[in-house]
Structure 1
């Protein structure tokens, strides 16, 4: 049964409706274990991107998380796979009630710009900065594809939804390739070592202090948490955990001003426990993911990926984009 309808995909505060592609492994005469080589070619990157959107449109029409997992990795695959399960269940409920189900309108990249670093070792990655064929869209998608060996397919691991002005100018060599930064290096001259950014952010959320600019993912997040702490009807506990590099690798590239753009992943779970006599409230998009019964408490297990501008020197970090989604929910 094919579901029809319309779901408008925007860039802030909504489900990010993504999908998947079977990408191309390509071939390189230098395998790249030790030699410094471009991560891919412009031609292969174009093929990967085109196929990504082609299969993405099909996957979201059929709400197929298994297809999604073949071409997306890490937190992005978890977020979108769960979104497909949830939206598919809601679509079936709507159809059973005689209502028109919703599905995502097909998307296509417009004037993509390929950002390919010179690298040695694995994993390798490249980025694509593209507009979408969405009317009145004011944001770009910055997709990051990665793979762990020449024998593996490229998988999208990060999606950053950014205003064009928020995408920094990148440092490039004479051939137009980006300068990758080793995320664990302490000799980058940056205000925060890239691999330590998750731990630094977790400390900021716990203590309310740290070297971050104010904004929706920093000061405003703390304000929301403070407000919820005063809710007499329920108590909310948070667990903000940086993810290991082996499973959820961070990536960093040098910007033209000496800083860096860094991509990193967090687990940001929250448990809400309701007071005696209160009825738990569960979002309709969470219910299809629920395990157990929400009699008194609900734990939302959530991944969040961040795009950060980390300046040279000691200035504060600017968290410019966050993509988050519940991948599991536990009722008690």
Structure 2
């Protein structure tokens, strides 16, 4: 089996949702795969491959290489890795960088420490200069991503999630831990989250791939994937590649729930994460945490909870202030 399509893929999502597994199951045999390990997770995979008489074309333990190194040194180490891979172009089909954020976060400090390499003149005003450095780091990342795409037919970059912060205040939302260049340069972006029905994750397609056909009216673009993949596996993606969704109406299993819609809209709230967790836990909640089957709350309690929610308070805050447990609050709000 070979790669399904070339380009850069970004895989993000919840902890233990299968980001690394998804990356290495892209259809390329290990001996045609470069794995850059910046998350210490692949060592077990390497050992399993060795036991079966197989190995990656190249496995790079980046964590070991950059131990106790500063940002400039980390940058130089990764660029040296890319330089070496460029000399071996054609000997591998995919580069997996797990996770990309570690390297991405050294680019802005690298620019700051090497200003003369990026601009002849910098603003004397601190705020403007900071914006200029930020933009230069974006430009640098875009150049490196372009390089990787030229070296390897397929590049898969993973990232974790991080709390969204605006004006130094956490919003209660989570977003992919990556910067604008990665969003712009990728051909496919997928957010993995756990499924309550299967060990295989659900995939929310943040950026879709497309096919192009020639018709009598010219070029026609066809969407390959729906916004939701159940399960999110390469076998499922191949099914859609052979039978694209196009502009048809989504099937029931392709429809997004409220939680998934919020992910695509970039507004994953703490409240929605709590609801999702309860849904995933199903019947495994502790007895004291189970959501009651009937309304056992006084009208004034219900009114107070709803008013607090309307005022913008989160479910954890409402729980602390009313002494109600979280499942009860969710039950009240759903009535």
* Same fold? TM cut 0.5: no
With normalisation by structure 2, the TM-score equals 0.23
Q: 1 or 2, which has the higher helix percentage?
A: 2
* Higher fraction of strand: 1
Point out the structure with max Rg over C-alpha. Answer: 2
TM-score (norm 1): 0.23
